[in-house]
Structure 1
Amino acid sequence: MSHGVMAPDTVALDLPELGKGRHTARLSLIGVIATFGGLLFGYDTGVLNGALPYIADYFRLSPLQEGLVTFSLLMGATLGALVSGRIADRIGRRATITGLGALFFVGALGCVVAPTYHILIAFRVVLGLAVGGASVTVPVYLSEVAPTEQRGSMIGRNDIMIVSGQFLAFLFNAIIGNLLGDSDSVWRLMLAVALLPAIVLFVGMRRMPESPRWLMAQGRSAEALQVLRTVRSEERAQAEMEEVRALTKIDAVARSTGWRDLLAEPWLVRLLFVGMGLAALAQLTGINSVMYYGTQVLEQAGFTRNTALIFNVLNGVISIVAMLIGVAVVNRVNRRTMLILGFGCVTALHVFIGVTGIVLPIGNPIRPYLLTVGMLGFLGFVQGTITLVGWIVMSEIFPLRVRGLMIGASVAVLWLTNALISLVFPPVVQALDFATFLLFGGCCLFGVIFTARWLPETRGRSLESIEAELATGGPRA
């Protein structure tokens, strides 16, 4: 089996060229509006990186209570991921994302005005429900609207918006923190920035079309064709309709909508194992220990708080640059190749960070800069390969009839792993210091093995052809 670079993506089945026209602009607009869910995902998870020290001072929190501020959102995200897939399967992708826009607004507003710590925690859970829901539904929606040859890059736009949201969180934290850091309520302003994109998502999605593949699954073929005609040429729309219609007939014979039916089919169980494993490994890279606690890590490396806030913006910059590079090549390079490269390089960088932090004493003037370089390199490879491709693959490998259920379960594992790491990271770092990064390195090394052994290759294949191949036990690559 080949893991190398292949020729630029071609449509797996004999579909007409996509071409250019009004449908191209419409498709781009859908990508922009829907990915505001990713922007909010990124901002609401990244904002605590700088806001948490101020929240801790305001409410006089213990270390455990600080961890719960992050943990509460992540547990809400776990629940949101579990239920949103089924909701999206039932009421549609567009309606679900629209509702999530409203939930983002309510959760963010509640956090901004929270008078007590416990009310803040409650609204962080609400915000987490929206974050988890968006992390499942937006990639599914994009994968079902996008043409085969653009699917990787279109889903990748959501990843770009996620890291852009995190960058904006770091940037606004640095600006607000340095200008208004003496104010007790400066953290409220940091959190309030998320209100505007929530409004954009809610209003914008009301004008976007429903997923044509979801409409076909509901037997609404006329509406599905009407949507396809707005995002494809006429000839291409007709050809894709035939492809989806053929698979829908197969699904009608053995339609499965619940866990009992899913677990009765070994190939679906195998795919679920792959999805859950990839989701967990993406978090076991330690990416969010840096995205959530980067400021604290930089302080521990030797920077002052204000300097750490400024340098932390570089984490957001390198994430965006790496994601842009990844999106530029993801339609040309096999998914497995990018993941194996990413896990391998991140393993080496974790060893570099861990050894540097252990060997060089805190007073060494070069120590914080070497650690910053290591962190930036680590972030770049994780965001440009593992994070990007992980979301793409999870949006591609699951069959239409249970896509919401299976991606919901996989992303719930992602958020649960994320939550557990975020909860234990501060005490583990306190106990092990920079040796913690060596543990993350071991997890990334296993990621290389996992990808090479179990991950199916999906680049350049329509969602329908991927499903047909995996269902018959076809080749992985």
Structure 2
Amino acid sequence: MAAPTSRTAYAGPRESVPARSAKRFIVGIAAIAALGGALFGYDTGVVSGALPFMESHFGLTSLGEGIITSALLIGAAFGSLAGGRMSDALGRRASLLWAGAVFIGGAVAVALAPTVPFMAVARFVLGLAVGSASVITPLYLSEIAPPHIRGRLVSFNSLMIVSGQLLAYLVNAVLAHWEAWRWMLGLAALPAVALFVGLFFLPDTPRWYISKDRPEDAAAVLRRTLPAEDVGDELARIAHARGLEAEARRGAWQELRTAWVRRLLLVGIGLAVVQQITGVNAVIYFAPKILATTGLGTNASITATIAVGAVSVLATAVGMSLIDRVGRRPLLIGGLAGMAISLALLGASFQLPPSTGVSVLVLGLMVLYMAFMQATLNTGVWLLLAEMFPLRVRGLAMGAAVFVMWLVNFAVALAFPVLLDAVGAGVTFWLFGVMCVLSLLFCKRYAPETKGLALEELEDALRTAARGN
């Protein structure tokens, strides 16, 4: 499938941006909805600091550690699939409310868990919320944002994910002095409550309202996000896309059997796999273990993990500023090239004898790799998955792609320590570098460009491009 080219979404003058009140409304929506991303980041990052204390408290074996760590990832895989379907049936806002409630209950259950089986089940339930939020939050933001700021608004969710991870690392470092691992886990309930309460003040998206034959509600939301003169055109675009999708009157699962939609779904799944097989979660989950192989001490390794988290936040902010100016495809391709080079150098650095200098070199290359990853691939893939599917199957298709993403995440997290022991860190990172090169070729061939297009215009362009191949 050839990628459609971008064109300007609005022909009017630049003054036709939303008024100040509309901007405040959009910023408020982003701040509340993206708490789902922050919870995603916090809950995936906090376990690294809690595990050492849980190990002594419960007498965990290595298998027990693996079960507790991976339970959330398996829950997230199924949560992402359910979240996509649920967001189509109940609405984006109502589904986020459900996720917020599960976040609250899951965080409390994990913090109070009396046994390992209880902890594993609680982590699985918490993963359901993490997976649901990973689908619904970018979906909600992409559908409520005006086209000219959609990239930045959806990418704000990526910023909140890495900010949540950084917050987890900082909380771990502070509470580790008191071995307060239950507090590490339980503090996630606070932003979950803020998300749940805040959502009562937000509307659903115009596109979901139109899909449920509620045009008055859609128009009311659009009047709060667009200038009055643009509301009619935007409603017409959404209605046009809705009309095309309703022609056959088939269910969403049947719609996925349509050739051009199925091709888009395969591309989306491919992008989800690309994000995971290029090594990011190996660094996030195992940074201290990686640095320990160079001779770095435990305390220094924990400090280095905080540095990786801080750079991830800064790099994501850079990616947000570039995504709507540079475009999605150039960002993906350039970032994968930088990641491949960083991983090649990182693999070579492990061929040197352990020393303080080598530890600093490895840390620097890990930071460089994460900077490329978070500024480009992480930002771009989440945005494309929220943009590229047609309205009738958007939640379901994105849920399927993110389901695969979480399964690959689980597989990489499970395989990385085995690879590390079997072939060493150098060869392992070279393998990730090869994955970056293959991923670059995939993105160059299949990744669509969505910059500047309204979602309905994008749908028409992708339909045409897919059918032309």
The question of 1:471 aligning with 2:431 is answered no
Contact 1:324 1:384 in 2 (8 A): yes
Query: What is the TM-score normalised by the length of structure 2?
Result: 0.95
Structure 1: which amino acid aligns with 2:56?
D
CA distance in 1, matches of 2:98, 2:8: 35
CA shift, 1:430, in A, is 1.6
**Which residue is 1:40 aligned to?**
39
Contact 2:110 2:122 in 1 (8 A): yes
349, 368, 387: which one pairs with 2:359? 368
CA distance in 2, matches of 1:337, 1:136: 24
**CA offsets per residue over residues 221-258 of structure 1, 9 Å max, x none?**
01110111122222222221121122222222134433
CA distance in 1, matches of 2:65, 2:418: 11
Structure 1 regions of 5+ residues with no counterpart? none
Distance 1:256 1:443, change over 3 A: farther
The question of 1:209 aligning with 2:200 is answered no
**CA offsets per residue over residues 316-350 of structure 1, 9 Å max, x none?**
11001000111011110121110011111111111
**Which residue is 1:304 aligned to?**
297
Contact 1:272 1:406 in 2 (8 A): yes
Q: Runs of 4 or more off by more than 4 Å in structure 1?
A: 12-16
**Which residue is 1:448 aligned to?**
440
**Which residue is 1:423 aligned to?**
414
The question of 1:220 aligning with 2:211 is answered no
Q: Secondary structure at the match of 2:246?
A: helix
CA shift, 1:217, in A, is 0.7
**Which residue is 2:252 aligned to?**
258
CA distance in 2, matches of 1:69, 1:125: 9
Structure 2: which amino acid aligns with 1:220?
R
**CA offsets per residue over residues 129-187 of structure 1, 9 Å max, x none?**
0000000001110000000000100001000000000000111111222x22xx4xx21
CA distance in 2, matches of 1:241, 1:167: 40
CA shift, 1:355, in A, is 1.2
CA shift, 1:13, in A, is 6.1
356, 371, 385: which one pairs with 2:349? 356
Identity of aligned residues (%): 39
**CA offsets per residue over residues 82-141 of structure 1, 9 Å max, x none?**
111111100100000011001011111111000111111000000100000000001110
Contact 2:158 2:316 in 1 (8 A): yes
1:69-108 to structure 2, matched below 5 A, reads 69-108=68-107
Distance 1:406 1:163, change over 3 A: same
Structure 2 regions of 5+ residues with no counterpart? none
**Which residue is 1:337 aligned to?**
330
CA distance in 2, matches of 1:328, 1:258: 35
1:268-279 to structure 2, matched below 5 A, reads 268-279=261-272
CA distance in 2, matches of 1:66, 1:354: 27
357, 378, 385: which one pairs with 1:387? 378
Query: What is the TM-score normalised by the length of structure 1?
Result: 0.94
CA shift, 1:54, in A, is 2.1
Contact 2:37 2:133 in 1 (8 A): yes
Contact 1:173 1:309 in 2 (8 A): no
CA distance in 1, matches of 2:325, 2:132: 30
Contact 2:260 2:466 in 1 (8 A): no
Contact 1:256 1:262 in 2 (8 A): no
Structure 2: which amino acid aligns with 1:189?
W
Contact 1:49 1:295 in 2 (8 A): no
CA distance in 2, matches of 1:237, 1:418: 41
428, 436, 458: which one pairs with 2:450? 458
Contact 1:212 1:223 in 2 (8 A): yes
Contact 2:83 2:95 in 1 (8 A): yes
Contact 2:2 2:446 in 1 (8 A): no
Contact 1:70 1:423 in 2 (8 A): no
Contact 1:50 1:295 in 2 (8 A): no
**CA offsets per residue over residues 343-380 of structure 1, 9 Å max, x none?**
111111111111111x1122x22111111001101111
Computed over aligned residues only, the root mean square deviation of the Cα atoms, in angstroms, reads 2.0
CA distance in 2, matches of 1:312, 1:11: 41
Structure 1: which amino acid aligns with 2:400?
A
Contact 1:152 1:327 in 2 (8 A): yes
Contact 1:49 1:294 in 2 (8 A): no
1:104-183 to structure 2, matched below 5 A, reads 104-177=103-176, 179-180=177-178, 183=179
CA shift, 1:12, in A, is 5.3
**CA offsets per residue over residues 261-310 of structure 1, 9 Å max, x none?**
312x1111110111001101101111111112222222233222222111
Structure 2: which amino acid aligns with 1:348?
I
CA distance in 1, matches of 2:183, 2:219: 45
Contact 2:78 2:128 in 1 (8 A): yes
Structure 1: which amino acid aligns with 2:430?
L
311, 316, 319: which one pairs with 1:318? 311
**Which residue is 1:238 aligned to?**
232
Structure 1: which amino acid aligns with 2:274?
L
CA shift, 1:19, in A, is 3.2
CA distance in 2, matches of 1:144, 1:174: 38
Deviates more, 1:39-48 or 1:237-246: 237-246
1:9-20 to structure 2, matched below 5 A, reads 10-11=8-9, 17-20=16-19
Structure 1: which amino acid aligns with 2:171?
F
Structure 1: which amino acid aligns with 2:305?
N
CA distance in 2, matches of 1:23, 1:167: 31
376, 396, 402: which one pairs with 1:405? 396
